[in-house]
Chains A and B, each alone.
Chain A
Amino acid sequence: MMSKVLVSILYIMIGLIASTNQSVFAGSLSLRTGPQQLGNGGSYPLFIPPASHQMALTWVTDSGFESTLSLYPGLLFGKRFQSQGLFLSLGGGLIISYAAGPGIYSTFGYETGSGSGGWHFTADYTQALGIDSSTKKYIAPSSMRLGVLWRY
C-alpha cells in the first residue's frame, strides 16, 4: 500500500515537472542514496551499497519550495534556504521510522555549481522528529545521502 502511494506521488511529481513551463518553474531535481537511521539514537547500518541504502528524490522550485519523496525519513515538504552551495531546509510532513506520523524536519546539505542547467553533485543530512500516530510516542529518524542533482 505504502509503495503504491509513493510511486503515485513520484508520477505526479514527474508529471508536474514535465508539464510545466520551464521559464516559470526553474528548479532542480536530485536523486540521492545513503544510510538511514531509524529508531531513536541507535546505530546506523553499514553503508555498503547495494545493501542497507535507500533512495530519496527531491524537487526544489526556484522559489525554494522543496518536496522530498523517500521511504525514510518520509514524505517531506519545506522551504530551502541557500547560500554559496550550502543549503538549509526546514519543513514538515509524514515522518517514517519504525512507525509513522506527522512531524518536522531539517536538512543541511551542499551542492556543487550554481545557476541553471546541467548535472551536479549533492550531499545532505536530514534529521526529523515526529509523533507516532498510533502510540503517540516520538520518532526521530535521520538520513545521510549523496547523489546527483539536475538543474532545469
Chain B
Amino acid sequence: MKFVLPLLFLSFSYLISSMAFGLELGSGLAAVDNMGDRAQPAAVVRVGWTKELFSQAFYLGQDFGPVSERQAMLTFGANSDIGGLKFLNVRYGAVAFMQKTSIYDNESSKNQPNPPAPIHDTNYNLGGFLGVAAFQEFGRFKLELNWDSHIYTLPNQAIILIPSARRQTMGLTIGVTI
C-alpha cells in the first residue's frame, strides 16, 4: 500500500505534465499590506488560463492573543502588453473578492462553567485590481514578480460602490505550463 500512493501520484503527475492543457500553474509567496506597519506574508496560487487571462488567490492570517484573523483574496484578471516591453505586463482585474474572518476565542473563559462560544465575524468584499508584473520565461517555466493593488468597495450589503479598503500585494511566483 505504501508504494501505491507514490506510484499513483507519479503516474498522475506524468499524465498531467504530458497533456497539453495550455494552462499555467504557479505558486509562491507575497507580502501584503494589511493595515499594519509591516507587510504580512501570504501564500499565492496562480492559474494562467491563457496568455492574457489568469486567476490568482492569496491566503494570509495572523493571531493577536485570543483573536485570529484569516483572509482569502481571489482575483480574476488580464495581462496586457504595454509600450512594447517584453518583460513587463500591466494587470487589471474585472472582479476581486475578499473574505476576511476574525475569530475571538478567549482561552481564559474556557475554565468557566458555561464558556462562551468563539465569536466568528466574516466580511466579504468585491472590487477590482490594478497592477504591474515583471516576468521571465524559461521554456515551460515562468518566474513572475507582481505588484498589485486590490481595491475593495464597502463590505457586505453595500449599495454605494465606493472604495473602502485596499490591499497592496507584492508577490513572487514560479509557474509551469502544462
Chain A positions within 8 Å of B, measured between CB atoms, are: 35, 37, 39-44, 46-47, 81-83, 86-88, 90, 106, 108, 125, 127, 129, 135, 137-138, 140, 142, 144
Contacts and interface: CB of A to CB of B under 8 A. Distances in A.
Interface of B: 32-39, 80-85, 88, 90, 92, 130-132, 147, 149, 151, 162-168, 170
What 9 A-B pairs come out closest when comparing CB atoms?
Answer: A81-B83, A40-B33, A41-B35, A44-B163, A41-B33, A127-B149, A137-B37, A108-B130, A140-B33
A86 B82 contact: yes
A43 B164 CA distance: 5
A88 B151 CA distance: 18
Contacts of B37: 40, 135, 137-138
A82 B39 CA distance: 31
28 contacts: A37-B166, A40-B35, A41-B32, A41-B36, A41-B165, A42-B35, A44-B164, A46-B162, A81-B83, A81-B84, A83-B84, A87-B82, A88-B82, A88-B88, A106-B132, A108-B90, A108-B92, A125-B130, A125-B149, A127-B130, A127-B131, A129-B147, A129-B168, A135-B37, A138-B37, A138-B38, A140-B168, A144-B163
A127 B139 CA distance: 32
B34 A129 contact: no
